[in-house]
Amino acid sequence: MASSLRTSCLILGLLALGVAQAQAPTRVRGTIEGFDGTVLSVAGQKIRVGEKTEIVYTQPVTLAEIKPGDFLGVTSVKHADGKLVAYEVRRFPKPLNPGHRPFDGRDDQTMTNATVGATVQSASGRELTMTYEGGTQKITVPPEASVSTLVPGTRAQLVPGAPVNLTMGEDRVALRIQVSPPKK
């Protein structure tokens, strides 16, 4: 009887795990190919924009506007010597998923979501000391890095040519869309 109960619990646990994995959001990155007010075309995919879809806009700012105490998401390339060099810096309105980890499954790219502890001017750019629970990272931000702050966005910013990073549910409805200005 106990063995049967354990087997039943194991099967129910595996089924619940399968349902949870099946419901995980899907990430899509690319450039907007078209938007008709309801359906967004990105990377050859059609994604609906619903009433509850959150849209955030990456408003460009200068690196000089980044101050100690700001919470940032910094995407970096890890050089052979171990130094981190940023190519994208985003200031968030509030802390989001703090820590330091590989980015996009690549060993040479990292994502650091942390608070700016200090800034120092160096010969190769500005160096940020990023702190999070359990760690600190020093990241150089060269002049050509993209620097922006996240602000509430609108459907009017979903224009062809604009880069997006979005998550969608199984129903192909966008949960959250981060849109940037089109490249010139």
Closest C-alpha to 118, from 109, 106, 127 = 127
In this prediction, residues 157-178 reach a mean pLDDT of 96
pLDDT band at 93 (very low <50, low <70, confident <90, very high): confident
How far is 131 from 128, CA to CA, in rounded Å? 10
How far is 53 from 4, CA to CA, in rounded Å? 45
Whole-structure pTM value: 0.73
**pLDDT at residue 23 in the model:** 66
How far is 78 from 100, CA to CA, in rounded Å? 12
Q: What are the sequence ranges of the domains in the chain?
A: 60-149
Chain segment 58-89, per-residue pLDDT in tens: 999 999 999 999 999 999 999 999 999 999 99
Closest C-alpha to 58, from 168, 175, 184, 162 = 162
124 compared with 121, residue with greater pLDDT: 121
pLDDT band at 96 (very low <50, low <70, confident <90, very high): confident
- Give the contacts of 121 (CB within 8 A, at least 6 positions apart): 127
How far is 105 from 102, CA to CA, in rounded Å? 6
